[in-house]
Structures are given as structure tokens and as C-alpha cells.
Amino acid sequence: MISELYPVNNEIRRAQLLDGLWRFRFDPRSEGEEAGWAQKGLPDPISMPVPASFADVFTEAWQRDYCGDFWYETDVYVQEIQQDQQLFIRFGSITHRCRVFINGQPAGEHEGGFLPVVVDAGAFLRQGRNRLTVLANNELNETSIPCGAVRTKADGRKQAQGYFDFFNYAGIHRSVWLMQIPAGAIRDYNTACSLEAGKAEISYEVEAEGDGEILVQLSDREGTPVASGKGRQGILHVENPQLWQVRNAYLYTLTILLQKNGRTIDHYDSPLGIRTVKVEGNHILINGQPVYLKGFGKHEDSEILGRGFSFAVAKRDYECMKWIGANCFRTSHYPYAEEWYQMADQEGFLIIDEVPGVGMMRSFANFAAAGAGKSNGFFGDCPDVDLLQKNHMNAVEEVIRRDKNHPSVIAWSIFNEAETTTQAAHDYFAPLFEAARKLDPQHRPVTGVLEKTSSPERCRCWPMMDFICLNRYYGWYISGGDLQEAKRQFKEEMDQWAEKAPQVPFVFTEFGTDTLDSLHKLPSVMWSQEYQQEYMEMNFSVFDEYPFIQGELAWNFADFQTGQGIMRVNGNKKGLFSRNRQPKEAAWAMKRRWEKQ
């Protein structure tokens, strides 16, 4: 059985980090597997940092824009192999699909580029030096998550064409670990909290191999035990609990022991925040209290690293979000590295956790058309909608299994800006929403993100959502440059939503304008810093008129890289911060508003 728990080091478990410079090779003709590169070693490799995207370390355009097969390779040293230990290789992610080889033997494969890839390595690793090889591929199609296509140019080069507005970064984006865990091991656990009259009940369920006894203990920050239990499932009772609050996080430590004949054979510790999440009427409640969501849509995106995880970049992002007064972000448009969630747990930030269900609207290759509400079908004529739904379902299952115990995660987003106006769309998404509700032990709210085409009178999917997320660009893609007319149109739509769903919370998950931090203009014009501020103020005035609006997540936290195009000046410039994380002038206006709320 594969163990996907985040790697830890303790007296029983070992986790060896394999990050660093790996060997790398492009394979544009897909010849490497037949030529035996996994068995013989990569011919003429170059060095490549892990974790990182490969695109932005290069200086040649063909390397930056490469689409197709590519290989990574490194050496793994195993000092000792014990018979009572299991060995796993765990990748935080490999974009978008991969096959993993150990000492030339196929050890595992995975479809989907934003969730862990774990392979059972015990049958392949030997004591001493081992070769770890990865064959990966970053092509897009209409069954991949996210969706897109590939165009072959006249000279034979492939070009990825995403049905989405962010760069198709690829590579080994997150850390790689060699994990040693006991032969009889703790495999997974679930927790859920309830609160009543100064008491907390934490239900737990532990999945473990064998017939050993499970012991569970909850300790406070000082390490003092406050509750304990025995058995693979049970309830921990906590008197006068310290709650995990928004921007005021308190974390306990949950200790799980697996014992046989009085001897501990496995041990796993994890932070635990006591908090509840519920939607009631048109409010989102944390610990029974309404919360107004303030923050951003983001991207895992930074200079040079691309989508590769960096603690320094993540730390800077959290400091910027704290400075501006935010309390929430959406992991647009895919699950982020696990370390983002661990930091959010510590800082008290709320996360709308989004699966990579993006690009399910072909016109979104022309984002302006989608933003203006251009009609578009997708699911009815998708060439293999069953395979797409299978890959989408796998992503839903994997993200919930990975992130279910994080107190920072308050909702699951099943898709971003998909086609939702047809019966085929409804039938496609209904099983995904049902699965998310069934899989989550905490029964968090489930939502999806609607663009302009998914209007009140046309959308078939909004009734499935516990709260409704809208991406709207009145004043940019719609009536750009005329904020007075944009406001009129915006209110006209919100009045329609007020009639359709007055008792459902609404969260604006995208609104924004491209802005050059070097451009000032009076009177304002689009792309100027002045226009960005005026646009934000117009949106705020609309938000404040409708009591069912319970959140505003601006698009975007920071400027980010996209593909090339006449409407993109070296990327999307809708950030309140520049790509190197410096505030634009509108960030100060946002700060003043959010600090008063």
C-alpha cells in the first residue's frame, strides 16, 4: 500500500531530501525510452535544479517554450536496507505526467501535474548507489487536467496551447524524498471537529497496516497532553479548547502511535487546528462566526523558478498578504505545494483549495471573449469526455486525500471558468461534487468558479455549490475604460443573482485590471495605476450594496507569466504587487479598506 503522508523524520521514520542539481535531457522525438536511457543513463545531459521549472533557466526561446518528453536523472545513495522497513520515493509533483524508473526498472507512473507522485521503491533499490530516472511530458489535450491542445509547427517543434491564461510551466516543481517507513505503518488519518459550550470533540480515524494497537494523543503548544484515545477510530474530548482562528492560529500536535506487544513500531506527528467551517444562510462561518473573505487569487509563479516551490518566495508572499490585511487566497488554478498549506495553518490564513479543472472552455484561449460572456460549448463535443472526467475525478480524490487535515482549507473548488450552461456540463460535474462531499471527513463547502457566460439565467451548475464564486471584469473586458457604464452592467447582473439565490453566499474570486507600475495618467486610462485604483473602488461600491456578497479575492496577488500575445505585456499584469513582490499604488487603497473591515 502506498503511503502519501507528508515526509517526517523521527526515531522510526526517515526522510532523505533529494533536491539539488539533477541531470536533464530534452527528448523531442520521444526516442529515449526505446533507446534505453532509463537503463543506460541519459546521453549528454545538462544540469537542472530541482525543484524548479525548466523554462526560465534557459536563454534560448525553443528551450523555454519546449513541449514534449523530457528526462530527469539523479543518483540516490542508500546506506542500509532493513527488512522491517519499506522504501518509497515521493515527488511533490511532476508536471504533467510521468514514468519513474529505479535502476532502469519501471517503478510507477502518474497522470496530473500538481499532486504527489509516490512509488514503492523497495523492490528496486539496493544498498549503495542507485539511479533514479524520470520520463515526463508537458503536452496538453482535452482529457488532461488542465485542458489544452498541441500544435505542431512546420519544423516539427510542438507548441502547447493551453485553454487558460498562465504559462505552461513544467518540470519537477516540488521536493523529492526518499522515505523509509516501517513494514507495518500508519498510512493515513482523518480528523473532524465539533464545538459546543466550551468543549471540542475531535473525531479521528487512522488507517494502518497489520493488527497493532493505535494510540492517539493531542498535546498543546507546550507539549502538555490534553486528550488521548485508543483504537483506529474514536473521539478526543478537549475542555476549554484554544481555537484555530482566522489570522490567529493555534495549533495542537496530534501524535499517532502504532504499537505491537508494547513496542512502538510507527510514529507520526502532525499539527491540528480546532475549528469548524459551515455555510449558513448567506454567511460563511468559522467557529460559528461569520467571516468576510479578503485576499487574492494567486499563482505559484516567480522569476527564474517559474512554478518551482521556494520557502523564501512563499514567506515573502505571506508577509505581503499580512501587510495588506488579507485573510484568504484561492489556489488558482491547481493545488499548491504542501508547504503553502502548512504555512497557512501557522499563520491563520483561509484557503479555497482548487483542483486543476481549468481550460474546459475552448474560447478561453481567447480570455477576452470568455470574459465578455461569449457562448461556448465543451462537454458535449469533447472527444473523450469519460477519460477527462476520470482524470478530473482522480484529481478531486487526490487533493482531498492530501489536504483534508489542514485547518486552513475551508472549501474545495472543483473547477475554474468551465462551460456550465449545458445539460452535458451539469451531468459532467454532478458526480465530482458528490464525490467531494463524500470524501471529505470534515464536510467542507464545495464550490466552483463561474465566468461571465455562466450567468444567472443560463448556468446549470450553481445550485450544486454551497457558495457561489464569480469571476467578473466589468470595467476591463466588459466596458473597459467606462467605469460608469461598467457599474451599471455589474449591478444589473447582481440584481438578477439576488432574485435567483438571495440566501447563498457569493465570493468574488477574480476582479482586476492589467496595470503597468510605470504608467501614470490623469485623467486615468486603462493600464495606468490611477485606473486600477478607480476600478477597485467601483467594484468595492458594488460589493458593499449586496449583503450576500461575503468575500473579495482580487485578481491577482502578483503579476505572473503567461504565453505570448498582443494583450499580454510579458505576462498578466493584474497583480496588486509586481512580479518581484513590490506593491502597486492600488495595494495601498486595498490595505486601507481591508484594515477597516
Active site residues: 417, 510
Dihedral (Cα; 514, 515, 519, 523), 10-degree rounding: 80
Look up residue 396 and give its three cell numbers.
Answer: 478531486
- CB 92 within 8 Å of CB 83: no
- CB 267 within 8 Å of CB 12: yes
Q: What is the DSSP letter of 168?
A: -
User: Would you put residue 269 in left (φ > 0), alpha (ψ -120 to 50) or beta?
Assistant: beta
Alpha carbons 490 and 384: distance in angstroms, whole number: 37
Angle at 562 between CA 561 and CA 566, to 5 degrees: 120
Dihedral (Cα; 283, 288, 290, 296), 10-degree rounding: -90
Residue 523 has, within 13 A of its CA and on its CB side, a CA count of: 3
Cis amide linkage into residue 556, ω under 30° from 0: yes
Rg (CA), the chain: 24
- CB 30 within 8 Å of CB 69: yes
Alpha carbons 538 and 536: distance in angstroms, whole number: 5
Cross-strand bridge partners of residue 285: 278, 290
- CB 557 within 8 Å of CB 296: yes
- CB 192 within 8 Å of CB 203: yes
Look up residue 47 and give its three cell numbers.
Answer: 544540469
User: Across the beta sheet with 105-111, what order do the strands follow?
Assistant: 46-50, 20-27, 69-78, 128-137, 97-102, 105-111
476: Cβ contacts below 8 Å, ≥ 6 apart: 371, 512, 513, 514, 526, 535
Q: Name the burial class of residue 240, with classes exposed (0-12), middle (13-18) and buried (19+) by CB atoms within 10 angstroms of its CB.
A: exposed
Mapping DSSP to helix (H, G, I), strand (E, B) and coil, where does residue 149 land?
strand
Cis amide linkage into residue 333, ω under 30° from 0: yes
- CB 453 within 8 Å of CB 419: yes
Phi and psi at residue 461, to the nearest 5°: -110, -15
Alpha carbons 131 and 594: distance in angstroms, whole number: 52
| C-alpha closest to that of 134 among 75, 73, 188 | 73
- CB 284 within 8 Å of CB 550: yes
| C-alpha closest to that of 18 among 100, 106, 112 | 100
Task: Say which amino acid occupies 271.
Answer: P
Q: What end-to-end distance do the CA atoms of the chain give, in Å?
A: 48
Residue 328 has, within 13 A of its CA and on its CB side, a CA count of: 27
How many residues in total does the chain contain?
Answer: 597
